[in-house]
């Protein structure tokens, strides 16, 4: 997921009609969400969630979900979270046109292609973004940094496309989302997600596009900092485990461990150092 380049967006905000929203194939979305569940379980030990404010309190208000972009896994996590946390919403997200050309089925899942380096790409982002944020029960997911950024990079900077979107849209809620990944005691990594404090936008014209961009970036940065502190403690307290996947070394080593456990009359557990992550 990406957004249009800021200098292109600056020229065209507020100048285009609403083209409507992409059509989503429900059964293909469900099938792909099931595949994401399988694929994440295969490649991650666990997925943990924490929230600074319960996302369920937002009812069906239009959502702009701004997230940091540390890895290739982020869009797959977004699809998984969209169906786990916001199953009753309709979800949309921009994606690079080059990626859509390779994976056409993404267009059936609510992703819409844009070229972030062009004027037409900026037009399309603002058009569809405004359409999504004008309808209750919709959510628009964006990696507003516009490129991969390490989770430790500060300050968190956003491209101004989301600011122009806020300034030209009706009432909606911006929900910060922080993603983090960590290797612990297992061969496979753990993924951590945190929803931050929502920001209600009631009058987009009350601030400049740059002001909104800075406000949203600061909210995501604060959420990232909170999540980083939680991850560093190494404790499960405060997290909800959404998914449990691969554990242990596998192969001959785990076969030997299992045989030792059974010889002692104990149940074999692949996880290392039970009681902590």
pLDDT by position in tens, the chain (length 277): 655 444 445 444 444 444 579 999 999 999 999 999 999 999 999 999 999 988 878 889 999 999 999 999 999 999 999 999 999 999 999 998 888 878 888 889 999 999 877 888 888 999 999 999 999 999 999 999 989 999 999 999 999 999 999 999 989 999 999 999 999 888 899 999 999 999 999 999 999 999 999 999 999 999 999 999 999 987 777 899 999 986 654 544 444 444 545 555 556 455 645 444 4
51 and 127 fall within a common domain: yes
Burial (Cβ within 10 Å: 0-12, 13-18, ≥19) of residue 43: middle
Instruction: Say how far apart CA 136 and CA 117 lie, in whole Å.
Output: 30
107: CB partners within 8 A, 6+ apart: 22, 100, 113
Q: 159 and 265 share a domain?
A: no
* 93 and 216 assigned to the same domain: yes
List the CATH number of the domain containing 33.
3.40.1130.10
Task: Clarify whether residues 254 and 215 are in a common domain.
Answer: no
CA dist 113 and 71 (Å) reads 19
**Residues 61 and 83 reside in one and the same domain:** yes
pLDDT at 262: 54
C-alpha 26/C-alpha 83 separation (Å) is 11
For residues 173 and 253, state if they share a domain. Answer: no
Nearest to 187 by CA among 252, 274, 248: 248
Give dist(CA 197, CA 85) in Å, integer: 16
105 and 240 assigned to the same domain: yes
The predicted structure's pLDDT at residue 135 = 95
Same domain, 238 and 256: no
The pLDDT score that the predictor gives to residue 179 is: 98
Domain total in the chain: 2
Would residue 217 count as lying in a domain? Answer: yes
Same domain for 92 and 197?
yes
Confidence (pLDDT) at 247: 66
Establish if 153 belongs to a structural domain: yes
Reading the block at residue 259, the tokens are 């045989």
Domain containing 53 equals 6-246
Can you give the pLDDT at residue 102? 82
pLDDT at 259: 52
Backbone angles phi, psi at 236, to 5 degrees: -85, -15
DSSP string, 241-262: EEEE---S--HHHHHHHHHHHH
pLDDT in tens, 66-93: 999 999 999 999 999 999 999 999 999 9
Decide if 275 is inside a domain.
yes
The pLDDT of residue 97 is 87
Same-domain status, 173 and 217: yes
Question: Residue 1: inside a domain, yes or no?
Answer: no
- What tokens does 221 get? 């940065």
**Residue 211 domain-assigned (yes or no):** yes
Does residue 32 sit in the same domain as residue 144? yes
Residue whose C-alpha is closest to residue 213's, from 46, 62, 6, 52: 6
User: Are 86 and 159 part of one and the same domain?
Assistant: yes
Residue 9, pLDDT score: 52
Helix extents (H) in the chain: 6-12, 26-43, 74-85, 97-102, 119-132, 161-167, 209-233, 251-263
Task: Look at residue 156 and tell me if it is in a domain.
Answer: yes
The pTM of the full predicted model, rounded to 2 decimals, is 0.83
């Amino acid at each position: 997921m990406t957004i249009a380049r800021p200098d292109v967006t600056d020229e065209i905000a507020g100048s285009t009609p609403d083209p409507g929203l992409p059509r989503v194939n429900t059964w293909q979305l469900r099938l792909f969400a099931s595949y994401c569940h399988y694929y994440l379980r295969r490649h991650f030990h666990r997925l943990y969630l924490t929230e600074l404010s319960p996302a369920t309190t937002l009812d069906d208000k239009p959502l702009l979900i701004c997230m940091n972009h540390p890895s290739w896994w982020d869009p797959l996590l977004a699809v998984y979270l969209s169906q786990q946390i916001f199953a009753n919403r309709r979800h949309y997200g921009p994606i690079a046109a080059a990626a859509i050309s390779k994976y056409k089925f993404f267009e059936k899942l609510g992703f819409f292609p844009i070229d972030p380096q062009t004027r037409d790409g900026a037009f399309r982002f603002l058009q569809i973004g405004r359409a999504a944020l004008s309808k209750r029960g919709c959510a628009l997911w964006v990696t507003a940094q516009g490129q991969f950024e390490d989770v430790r990079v500060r300050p968190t900077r956003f491209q101004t496309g989301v600011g122009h979107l806020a300034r030209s849209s009706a009432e909606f809620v911006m929900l910060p989302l922080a993603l983090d990944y960590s290797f612990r005691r297992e061969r496979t990594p753990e993924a951590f997600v945190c929803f931050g404090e929502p920001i209600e936008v009631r009058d987009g014209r009350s601030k400049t596009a740059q002001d909104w961009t800075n406000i949203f970036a600061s909210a995501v940065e604060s959420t990232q900092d909170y999540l980083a502190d939680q991850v560093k403690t190494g404790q499960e307290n405060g997290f909800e485990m959404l998914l449990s996947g691969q554990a242990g070394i596998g192969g001959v080593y785990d076969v030997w461990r299992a045989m030792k456990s059974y010889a002692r009359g104990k149940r074999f557990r692949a996880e290392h150092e039970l009681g902590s992550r």
